[in-house]
């Protein structure tokens, strides 16, 4: 039940309301259970949670990676099983804490849950997809908490309701696992009342923050043009269609500027011709910026020749005079998508890499100059890493852009999940976020998480809308994930305390 509730907390099939109670069944189930029993319960919850939200990975590998169906299913199962280990850790820690400290230990669940989410963000390159806090990105008054504590703070708040519900359920249970004392039973719902009060206070504060809207009047306005070419993945690699794809983006750029855009953004790997390699195509892109007299951000592969030829997934900024303003090379690559770790072991997956060789990772944060302002770009799923995007803001970025090619995902839940997670970065950093996606969803998100413009999936679109260059910093932009790291430290302290308590009880016995 916990796995199902977690899964249906996210788009496109879910609703944010389910997230608030999602962990309650698991917490009640693992209360004072043996470690092996807790591990099995956590694994079941994790498999359902991630299996239902990441089912689309099989499709990606079969359709675009040319991986046999059986192999793709096995790889997807392996990823889900790995991610399920984090709910396993959560369940085992909660079982240990409740065994040592009783029902009151259930109230520490938000701390432990956030610690496991932090681990999932960084271990083995990290995969922080569908963190619990992302479920609330469309609940704008509550989502404003991310401007203070980031998405992990939202995860903690949401988990607190589940934890206090579980506490009430255990204390009100007249079974031997519960507590029969009438005095305790009357107090069973006090933590829940406090938690709901905290949620209400957060929502009131968030509503006032949105209503005040100071970030919508500060800074300098910019009209952005976002291009969604809706190019089939196979078309970019066919010589006879590559020229047509390239012309489409040139024409859409002109259309965006005719609509008033003063800054044009192409999606990830939009051009079939790596920037700087095909002289004719590169001259046309430079000439386009000159004729339109606007800066253009272009997603393109980059090939760096030398002793060892390297390939990068990159974004180039072309100034209005046609000169190159800068290049950002994607730093956080997709395993089995942009490079194959231990290629000799996974030789059957090498066809999924869409380049002559593995992509190399960029090594530095880069902000790009746009009309005297600094702009950053996150490429594809880099946008789901909170601290990476925060580093762009710390480096002076006044506008967040993200370019992606979500055609890989097909008409699944993935594009909706990806867009929602990108929107969270706008709230965290207090910045407008503009997103250009090859097949959608493209759009503009204001610093409070409101989507002011949005395209559909698998349709050509030129979005022209207003954003602003902003310099004010949110608390989260200044402090980062201190809350999450604090939760990790507290989890260790709680575990050490539980172990010591158990040893003392055993010694006394």
- Hey, which residues are catalytic here? 268, 330, 380
CB of 417 within 8 A of CB of 402? no
Query: Which H, E and C letters describe 347-410, residue by residue?
Result: HHHHHHCCCCCCECCCCCCCCEEECCEEEEEEEHHHHHCHHHHHHHHHCCCCEEEEEECHHHHC
CB of 440 within 8 A of CB of 412? no
Q: In 10 A of CB 214, how many CB atoms?
A: 10
Q: Which residue has the tokens 């790889």?
A: 75
Q: In 10 A of CB 36, how many CB atoms?
A: 10
| Rg, Å, the chain Cα set | 24
* Token pair in block for residue 177: 């696992």
Measure the CA–CA gap between 72 and 76, rounded to whole angstroms. 6
Whether omega before 277 lies within 30 degrees of 0, making that bond cis, reads: no
Please give the angle made by the CA atoms of 8, 10 and 15, to the nearest 5 degrees. Answer: 65
CB of 32 within 8 A of CB of 157? no
For 24, the 3-state DSSP assignment is helix
Measure the CA–CA gap between 35 and 193, rounded to whole angstroms. 30
H or E element that contains 163: helix 146-172
Task: Mention every residue, 6+ apart, whose C-beta is less than 8 A from residue 38.
Answer: 30, 91, 92, 94, 95
Q: Which residue has the tokens 């693992």?
A: 30
CB of 439 within 8 A of CB of 458? yes
**CA nearest 340: which of 316, 357, 364?**
357
Measure the CA–CA gap between 93 and 35, rounded to whole angstroms. 8
Q: Which residue has the tokens 């060789």?
A: 357
Q: Which residue has the tokens 């990830």?
A: 268
**CA nearest 414: which of 353, 457, 354, 448?**
457
H or E element that contains 304: strand 296-304
For 198: left if phi > 0, alpha if psi spans -120 to 50, otherwise beta; the answer is: alpha
């Amino acid at each position: 039940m916990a796995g199902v509730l977690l899964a249906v907390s996210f788009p496109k099939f879910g609703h944010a309301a389910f997230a608030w109670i999602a962990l309650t069944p698991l917490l009640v189930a693992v209360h004072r259970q043996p470690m092996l029993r807790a591990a099995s319960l956590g694994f079941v919850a994790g498999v359902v949670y991630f299996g239902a939200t990441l089912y689309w990975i099989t499709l990606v590998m079969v359709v675009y990676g040319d991986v046999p169906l059986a192999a793709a299913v096995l790889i997807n199962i392996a990823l889900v099983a790995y991610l399920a280990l984090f709910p396993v850790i959560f369940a085992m820690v909660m079982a240990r804490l409740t065994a040592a400290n009783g029902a009151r230990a259930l109230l520490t669940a938000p701390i432990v849950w956030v610690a496991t989410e932090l681990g999932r963000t960084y271990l083995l390159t990290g995969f922080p997809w569908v963190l619990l806090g992302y479920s609330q990105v469309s609940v704008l008054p509550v989502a404003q908490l991310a401007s203070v504590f980031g998405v992990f703070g939202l995860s903690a708040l949401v988990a607190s309701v589940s934890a206090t519900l579980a506490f009430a359920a255990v204390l009100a249970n007249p079974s031997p696992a519960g507590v029969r004392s009438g005095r305790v039973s009357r107090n069973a719902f006090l933590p829940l009342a406090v938690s709901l009060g905290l949620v209400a206070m957060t929502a009131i504060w968030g509503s006032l923050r949105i209503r005040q809207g100071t970030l919508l009047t500060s800074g300098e306005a910019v009209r952005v043009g976002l291009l969604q070419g809706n190019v089939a993945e196979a078309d970019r690699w066919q010589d006879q269609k590559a020229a047509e794809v390239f012309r489409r983006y040139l024409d859409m750029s002109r259309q965006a500027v005719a609509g008033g855009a003063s800054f044009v953004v192409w999606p990830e790997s939009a051009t079939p011709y790596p920037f700087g390699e095909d002289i004719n195509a590169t001259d046309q892109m430079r000439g386009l910026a000159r004729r339109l007299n606007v800066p253009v951000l272009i997603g393109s592969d980059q090939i760096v020749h030398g002793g060892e030829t390297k390939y990068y997934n990159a974004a180039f900024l072309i100034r209005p005079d046609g000169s190159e303003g800068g290049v950002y090379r994607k730093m956080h690559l997709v395993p089995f998508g942009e490079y194959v770790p231990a290629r000799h072991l996974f030789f059957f997956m090498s066809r999924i890499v869409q380049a002559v060789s593995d992509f190399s990772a960029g090594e530095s944060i880069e902000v790009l100059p746009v009309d005297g302002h600094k702009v950053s770009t996150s490429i594809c799923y880099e946008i789901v890493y909170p601290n990476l995007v925060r580093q762009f803001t710390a480096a002076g970025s006044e506008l967040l852009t993200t370019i992606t090619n979500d055609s890989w995902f097909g008409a699944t839940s993935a594009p909706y999940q990806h867009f929602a997670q990108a929107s969270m970065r706008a709230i965290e950093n207090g910045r407008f976020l503009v997103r250009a996606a090859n097949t959608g969803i493209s759009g503009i998100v204001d610093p409070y998480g409101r989507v002011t413009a949005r395209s559909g999936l698998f349709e050509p679109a030129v979005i022209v809308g207003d954003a602003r260059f902003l310099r004010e910093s949110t608390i989260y932009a200044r402090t980062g994930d201190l809350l999450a790291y604090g939760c990790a430290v507290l989890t260790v302290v709680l575990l050490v305390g539980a172990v010591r308590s158990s040893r003392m009880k055993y010694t006394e016995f």
